[in-house]
Chains A and B, each alone.
Chain A
Amino acid sequence: MKKQITLTVNDKIHEILIKSNETLLDILRNHLRITSVKAACWQGDCGLCTILLEGVPIKSCLVLAYEADNKRVITVEGLSIEGSVSKLQESFINNGAVQCGFCTSAFLLMGHYLLKQGKPLERKEIEHLLNGIICRCTGYKQIIDSILAVSSISSE
């Protein structure tokens, strides 16, 4: 059965015809062609399909598309303001947190979410909070450094 849903992605409203067995990941990549949302496992392990749904990080391969009806989705494109990079994106560049880049959108979204909570963050805590996303290149250190750097600027 098909159903029409209204989905706001990065402030743009879309009316999309979905099938009941489609996931949010299927919609974002196949219908909307937002290919910054990656996928590698389709079963919750890699975290590369992470997006923000109503501001909260979820793994879009494990969420059915109809659940996003009338909700707001943010993908990495939604983090840059009018084409310029955010503080966190700049920090990723400065700290060399990007190698192949396949995991970068997911870590930026998660980092953005953690910083938005407004609590001071410690290295150990960031490590624990990031463990749902896999990076096979960087060894995580530079990613954590990047988030820590922005966290300490904003708490000064």
Chain B
Amino acid sequence: MTETISYVGLPKFEIEVPNSLEEALNLLHIHQTNCKPLAGGTDLLVDLRHRLIQPNVIIDVKNIPELKKLEFTPNELTIGAAVPISEVLTLSQIKTYYTALYQALNDMCDEILRNRATIGGNIATASPAADTAGPLYTHQAVVEVQSKSKGSRLIAIDKFFKGVKKSDLAPDELIVSINMPKPTINTKSAFMKMKRGAEDLALVGAAGSHNQEHTYLGFTAVAPTPVFLDISNLIIEKKISENVFQSIWKEIDSKISPITDVRSSRDYRIHITEILTRLILKEIIL
């Protein structure tokens, strides 16, 4: 039958659907840079459509039990790399203990795409605007990855992003899960993003968490990679004076390098980063 949709179709590729982690790692080992894992496809299919990537083999990772795990134990939260965001949001503990992540997920993409999009795909894409990056840092997430050549290794989220769309993942490595320790009782966290319309990418994203020992901040869309800061040593009292804020802002300002693009100018992004930092600090320290 003739094709009625005239818009360019997807480039040619073969599909593999491994049912076990071992099988998937073997396929990645064989195909290396000629293959790409597929989770929700909300980034991958767009990149394929625009010919930004042209792998010979697509490896659907949604049938691998380890990547479908979603579990909250007394010590930590484990989110399998292929669990769709809508499913993550059904776990009640996300809202209670991981508020920043909850707020980011609840507003990510849109209600329809959340049925497909995953946290694993979000960080693997390594966009400077990845909404989950800031919250994952403030919750001190560790990413478990596996490959046939290197076995299993853990990457702290602040070591994961290496550049625009570049991560620490080797071509044959698969993200298995994202793990976060259970926060102590008095931890507060929050996420906010500034965007133009209902489902546009963030102009600036900001996340923070605070308890007696630690205060962490994470920013997205303000540099080639997400920007993470441990400002625990700057929080000397329960209240943030203007002086203390200025010392925090000085650290942030030295680390961010926003660009001017269709969404916003550099100056506006810097201004918004400052406003969001004030709002986040007010939310988490009180």
A-side residues, CB < 8 A to B, are: 1, 20-23, 25-26, 29-31, 33, 39, 42-45, 47, 50, 56-59, 61-64, 66-67, 110, 128-133
Indicate if the CB atoms of B1 and A132 lie closer than 8 Å. Answer: no
Residue of A nearest to B111 (CB): A129
Mask: chain B, 1-19; 1 = CB below 8 Å from A; 0 = not: 1011101011111110100
A-B pairs under 8 A by CB, number: 91
- Residue from A1, A42, A67, A129 in contact with B49 in the complex, judged by beta carbons closer than 8 Å: A42
In angstroms, Cα B3 to Cα A61, docked, is 15
Within 8 A of A (CB), among B1-46: 1, 3-5, 7, 9-15, 17, 38, 40-42, 45-46
- Report whether B111 and A62 are in contact in the complex, using a CB–CB cutoff of 8 Å: no
Instruction: Classify chain B's interface size.
Output: 20 to 34
The residue from A22, A33, A56, A131 contacting B110, defined by CB atoms under 8 A apart: A131
Instruction: Provide the bound-state CA to CA distance between A58 and B49, in Å.
Output: 18
Query: Which residues of chain B come closer than 8 Å to A39, judged between CB atoms?
Result: 5, 7
B112 on the A face (CB < 8 A): yes
Interface of A is mostly: mixed
Residue of B nearest to A33 (CB): B4
Contact of A133 among B4, B11, B112 (CB under 8 A): B112
Q: A39-B5, A59-B113 are in contact. Are A1 and B14 (CB under 8 A)?
A: yes
Q: Is B182 an interface residue (CB 8 A)?
A: no
B111-A128 in contact (CB<8A): yes
On whether A131 and B199 interact (CB within 8 A), knowing A29-B5, A39-B7, A62-B42, the answer reads: yes
**New contact pairs (13) apart from A20-B12, A44-B113, A62-B116, CB-CB < 8 Å:** A21-B9, A23-B45, A26-B5, A30-B5, A39-B5, A58-B112, A110-B112, A128-B111, A131-B110, A131-B111, A132-B109, A132-B111, A132-B199
B198 contacts the other chain (Cβ, under 8 Å)?
yes
A66–B115 Cα distance when bound, in Å, is 18
Cβ–Cβ < 8 Å partners of B11 in chain A: 21
* Nearest opposing residue in chain B for A47, CB measure: B112
Is B42's CB under 8 angstroms from A21's CB? no
